[in-house]
């Protein structure tokens, strides 16, 4: 059980050769996922199954009818000139052909429809799951992998439904039906054919084993190619400025070489497997010609039966060749599904509460009756900042212990921030400031102890509610492709144009935005590349302000602003933070001036705590920091 647990989730991704037990586990995981995805389409799958069975039966009727025609249709025509039996057989043949055409069409179309719905559902689940997974997961799994799971892996599965699945199913079915048909026609000759199953099974077993490994390698190599590709072009300016092109060429050449090696290996497997199948088929054809001929001469069977056998043999082995062709699509989809199911199996380490607790209503219930649903956010009227009745919530850390891997960042933190208070965290890098911020925003859960929002453990607050109440702005101001307005509106979808402008005006971004070519509708370019870092920062501020949360966490959010912008933001903060709870982390002590209370941290412990004026008057850490900071302004 513990051995199994170690292979949970994404841990298997780096493994090339997997033990049989593990392979079975992975297959089971994929199968469970697939079964789960197919469940809503039970009826469709039943129809598809019916269509493929009918279609295969109709396809098999052909050769049998040819044999019947030779044995029972042609002799009367030759001997008595009676065309009736032959025409009857021809009519049945025509009907079979018609049925085959109709059912094939049904099968392909419906497979496409069901398959694509499954792919769509998988895309949805995966995207949502990735968003739910904690920041810690994304930091270790990297965005390149997340992207390749959702693009190339999903596309591999989609390709299977597009081109591979029908041949795979019909080949399996044909094998079964043709075998049965042959046994019914002439069992000694059929046994000769079925004897070919021995080398066939062996060959297929070998191919399966080898190609599972080969395709796993292909996927992993492909993911690395994608990661490197995304990284390069995400930071193309640095690449060019540091003449990283050649080194990158070399790295990419290596990765792409690994990928080429992996796909070469896979194509070599097929190069052996497909001719191997046709060898078995051809040898058996030779044996059937010889032994069947003998049986015809001995009068055991008629010529028509031999003809049927020969025609069946073609249908028997040819589809297997197709299978080899599509086996890679199948395998690719299989290993893609294994990885996707691995990601889906990763438990969010900051899970949604099983029994969500309600937060006490904020401020006076009468002032904000609509707080309960996201859709009914107050809109229009008063504008955004400041919102009347805005009130903060109390935040408490109770004996919180937290560490990353072996290093403990917060040994034992007790902290009480009353509702409406603005607290500044001060201290050197590594003192634990950002960790406190991230714990408040529940990017992580504490190892021990609790973080409480108005007395409710954050772990009991549904994500939807938490994100409305607590908003964190960091120095990393990521903008999404789209307009400036759309990026601000991210803080509160449904905000009116006036509200967006009000928010931007409040933090002093309005002027530069209106100076852009299309004002608020200007596209910001990929990741906001058309704007300067300070401009992006202002927009992400506007985004947080329009969200109007009860607790605002600013982690170095003003670091990239120039002084006039910072001044504007600070003036805005005074109004915005009024009544709200806020935690500010800033290296520039100017920001601290608006705080009601300053906490000085060292090695995860609070060493000074008090209003800025009082601390300034003393001779502690803060006073010293402030002196050196003031000196830097001169």
Footprint (CB under 8 A) of another protein, residues 526-565: 526-527, 529-535, 538, 540, 543-544, 547, 556, 559-565
**Which residue do the tokens 């279609």 mark?**
55
Please report how many Cα atoms fall inside a 13 Å half-sphere around the Cα of residue 436, on the Cβ side.
40
Among 197, 206, 252, 444, contact with another protein (rule: CB under 8 A):
252
Among 15, 34, 38, 93, contact with another protein (rule: CB under 8 A):
93
Window 174-213: contact mask with another protein (x via CB under 8 A)? ----------------------------------------
Residue 31 or 264: the one with the smaller Cβ distance to another protein is 264
Q: How far is the CB of 328 from another protein (least distance, A)?
A: 10
Residues 330 to 369 in contact with another protein, rule: CB under 8 A:
none
DSSP H helical ranges for 235-302: 236-241, 245-297
**Which residue do the tokens 């290596």 mark?**
254
Among 24, 191, 283, 365, contact with another protein (rule: CB under 8 A):
283
Q: Encoding tokens for residue 54?
A: 């009918």
Q: How far is the CB of 565 from another protein (least distance, A)?
A: 5
Q: Encoding tokens for residue 34?
A: 């697939």
Q: Is 605 a residue that touches another protein (CB under 8 A)?
A: no
Strands 395-404 and 407-417: antiparallel
Residues 253 to 272 in contact with another protein, rule: CB under 8 A:
253, 256-257, 259-261, 263-264, 267-268, 270-272
Burial class (CB in 10 A: 0-12, 13-18, 19+), 416: exposed
Q: How far is the CB of 8 from another protein (least distance, A)?
A: 22
Residue 113 or 605: the one with the smaller Cβ distance to another protein is 113
Cα separation, 546 vs 473, in Å, equals: 12
Among 239, 367, 594, 607, contact with another protein (rule: CB under 8 A):
239
Residues 571 to 600 in contact with another protein, rule: CB under 8 A:
587-590
Q: What secondary structure does DSSP assign to 182-237, as a single string?
A: HHHH-HHHHHHHHHTHHHHHHHHHHHHHHHHHHHHHHHHHHHHHHHHHHHHHHTHH
**277: nearest Cα among 312, 340, 243, 319:** 319
Q: Is 457 left (phi over 0), alpha (psi -120 to 50) or beta?
A: beta
Residues 149 to 178 in contact with another protein, rule: CB under 8 A:
150-152, 155, 158, 161-162, 166
Distances (CA, A) of 84 to 19, 80, 296, 302, 353: 63, 11, 26, 21, 77
Query: How many of the chain's residues bind another protein (CB under 8 A)?
Result: 185
Residue 234 or 610: the one with the smaller Cβ distance to another protein is 234
Residue 370 or 627: the one with the smaller Cβ distance to another protein is 627
Structural contact between residues 476 and 459, judged by C-beta atoms closer than 8 angstroms? no
Q: Is 376 a residue that touches another protein (CB under 8 A)?
A: no
Residue 274 or 573: the one with the smaller Cβ distance to another protein is 274
Q: Is 80 a residue that touches another protein (CB under 8 A)?
A: no
Residue 28 or 105: the one with the smaller Cβ distance to another protein is 105
Length of the chain: 634
Q: What is the DSSP letter of 431?
A: S
Cα separation, 193 vs 67, in Å, equals: 18
Residue 26 or 492: the one with the smaller Cβ distance to another protein is 492
Stretch that binds another protein, among 15-23, 32-40, 415-423, 525-533 (CB under 8 A): 525-533
Q: How far is the CB of 246 from another protein (least distance, A)?
A: 9
Q: How far is the CB of 249 from another protein (least distance, A)?
A: 5
Q: Encoding tokens for residue 18?
A: 């997997």
Q: How far is the CB of 69 from another protein (least distance, A)?
A: 5
**99: nearest Cα among 59, 44, 50:** 59
Among 23, 310, 606, 607, contact with another protein (rule: CB under 8 A):
310
Cα separation, 365 vs 374, in Å, equals: 16
Q: Is 22 a residue that touches another protein (CB under 8 A)?
A: no
Residue 322 or 457: the one with the smaller Cβ distance to another protein is 322
Residue 27 or 588: the one with the smaller Cβ distance to another protein is 588
Among 26, 60, 70, 584, contact with another protein (rule: CB under 8 A):
70
Q: Is 101 a residue that touches another protein (CB under 8 A)?
A: yes
Rounded to the nearest 10 degrees, what angle do helices 245-297 and 303-345 cross at?
150
Residues 388 to 447 in contact with another protein, rule: CB under 8 A:
428-429, 434, 441, 443
Cα separation, 427 vs 603, in Å, equals: 9
Q: How far is the CB of 390 from another protein (least distance, A)?
A: 17
Q: Is 90 a residue that touches another protein (CB under 8 A)?
A: yes
Q: Encoding tokens for residue 124?
A: 């949805």
Q: Is 512 a residue that touches another protein (CB under 8 A)?
A: yes
> Which residues, listed in sequence order, are joined to residue 470 by a DSSP beta bridge?
551
Q: Encoding tokens for residue 571?
A: 């003036």
Q: How far is the CB of 225 from another protein (least distance, A)?
A: 8
Q: Is 128 a residue that touches another protein (CB under 8 A)?
A: yes
Please report how many Cα atoms fall inside a 13 Å half-sphere around the Cα of residue 3, on the Cβ side.
4
Stretch that binds another protein, among 42-50, 94-102, 185-193, 395-403 (CB under 8 A): 94-102
Residue 25 or 540: the one with the smaller Cβ distance to another protein is 540
Phi, psi of 399, deg, nearest 5 = 40, 55
Question: Chain centroid to CA 194: how far?
Answer: 44
Q: Is 242 a residue that touches another protein (CB under 8 A)?
A: yes
Stretch that binds another protein, among 36-44, 187-195, 226-234, 606-614 (CB under 8 A): 226-234
Q: What secondary structure does DSSP assign to 391-429, as a single string?
A: ----EEEEEEEEEETTEEEEEEEEEEE-TT-EEEEE--T
**Which residue do the tokens 């500010």 mark?**
584
Residues 443 to 502 in contact with another protein, rule: CB under 8 A:
443, 463-464, 466-468, 471-478, 480-481, 490-491, 493
Q: What is the DSSP letter of 579?
A: T
Among 278, 361, 391, 603, contact with another protein (rule: CB under 8 A):
278
Residue 85 or 418: the one with the smaller Cβ distance to another protein is 85
Q: Is 32 a residue that touches another protein (CB under 8 A)?
A: no
Q: Is 100 a residue that touches another protein (CB under 8 A)?
A: yes
HEC secondary structure over 84-127: HHHHHHHHHHHHHHHHHHHHHHHHHHHHHHHHHHHHHHHHHHHH
Strands 551-555 and 407-417: unpaired
């Amino acid at each position: 059980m513990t051995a199994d647990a170690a292979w949970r989730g994404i841990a298997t991704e780096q493994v090339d050769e997997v033990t049989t037990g593990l392979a079975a586990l992975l297959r089971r995981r994929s199968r469970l996922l697939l079964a789960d995805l197919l469940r809503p389409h039970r009826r469709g799958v039943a129809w598809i199954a019916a269509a493929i069975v009918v279609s295969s039966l109709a396809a098999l009727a052909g050769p049998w009818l040819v044999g019947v025609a030779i044995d029972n249709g042609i002799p009367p025509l030759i001997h008595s000139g009676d065309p009736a039996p032959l025409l009857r057989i021809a009519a049945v043949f025509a009907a079979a052909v018609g049925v085959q055409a109709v059912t094939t069409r049904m099968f392909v179309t419906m497979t496409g429809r069901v398959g694509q719905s499954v792919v769509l559902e998988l895309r949805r689940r995966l995207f949502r799951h990735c968003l739910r997974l904690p920041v810690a997961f994304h930091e270790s799994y990297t965005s390149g992998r997340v992207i390749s799971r959702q693009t190339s892996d999903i596309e591999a599965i989609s390709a299977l439904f597009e081109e591979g699945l029908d041949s795979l199913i019909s080949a399996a079915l044909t094998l079964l039906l043709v075998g049965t048909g042959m046994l019914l026609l002439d069992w000694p000759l059929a046994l000769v054919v079925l004897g070919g199953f021995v080398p066939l099974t062996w060959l297929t077993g070998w191919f399966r084993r080898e190609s599972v490994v080969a395709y796993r390698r292909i996927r992993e190599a492909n993911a690395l190619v994608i990661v490197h590709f995304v990284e390069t072009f995400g930071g193309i300016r640095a690449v060019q400025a540091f003449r990283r092109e050649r080194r990158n060429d070399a790295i990419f050449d290596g990765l792409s070489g690994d990928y080429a090696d992996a796909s070469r290996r896979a194509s070599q497997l097929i190069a052996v497997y497909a001719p191997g199948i046709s060898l078995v088929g051809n040898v058996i054809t030779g044996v059937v010609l010889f032994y069947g001929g003998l049986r015809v001469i001995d009068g055991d069977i008629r010529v028509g039966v031999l003809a049927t056998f020969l025609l069946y043999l073609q249908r028997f082995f040819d589809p297997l060749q197709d299978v080899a062709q599509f086996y890679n699509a199948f395998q690719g989809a299989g290993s893609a599904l294994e990885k996707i199911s691995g990601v889906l199996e990763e438990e969010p380490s900051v899970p949604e509460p099983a029994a969500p607790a309600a937060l006490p209503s904020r401020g006076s219930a009468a002032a904000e009756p609509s707080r309960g649903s996201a859709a009914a956010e107050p809109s229009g009227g008063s504008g955004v900042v400041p919102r009347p009745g805005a009130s903060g919530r109390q935040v408490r850390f109770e004996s919180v212990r937290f560490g990353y891997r072996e290093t403990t960042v917060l040994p034992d933190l007790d902290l009480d921030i009353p509702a409406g208070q603005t607290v500044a965290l001060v201290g050197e890098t590594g003192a634990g400031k950002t960790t406190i911020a991230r714990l408040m925003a529940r990017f992580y859960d504490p190892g021990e102890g609790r973080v409480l929002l108005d007395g409710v453990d954050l772990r009991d607050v549904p994500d939807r509610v938490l994100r409305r109440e607590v908003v964190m702005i960091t120095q990393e101001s990521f903008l999404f492709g789209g307009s400036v307005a759309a990026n601000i509106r991210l803080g509160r979808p449904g905000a009116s144009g006036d509200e967006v402008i009000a928010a931007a005006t409040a933090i002093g971004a309005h002027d530069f935005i209106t100076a852009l070519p299309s004002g608020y509708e200007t596209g910001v370019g990929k990741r906001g590349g058309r704007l300067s870092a300070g401009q992006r920062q202002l927009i992400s501020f506007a985004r947080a302000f329009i969200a109007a949360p009860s607790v605002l966490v600013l982690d170095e959010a003003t670091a990239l602003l120039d002084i006039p912008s910072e001044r504007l933001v600070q003036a805005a903060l005074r109004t915005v933070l009024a009544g709200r709870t806020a935690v500010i982390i800033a290296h520039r002590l100017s920001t601290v001036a608006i705080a009601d209370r300053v906490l000085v941290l060292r090695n995860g412990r609070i060493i000074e705590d008090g209003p800025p004026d009082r601390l300034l008057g003393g001779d502690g850490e803060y006073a010293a920091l402030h002196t050196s900071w003031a000196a830097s302004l001169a």
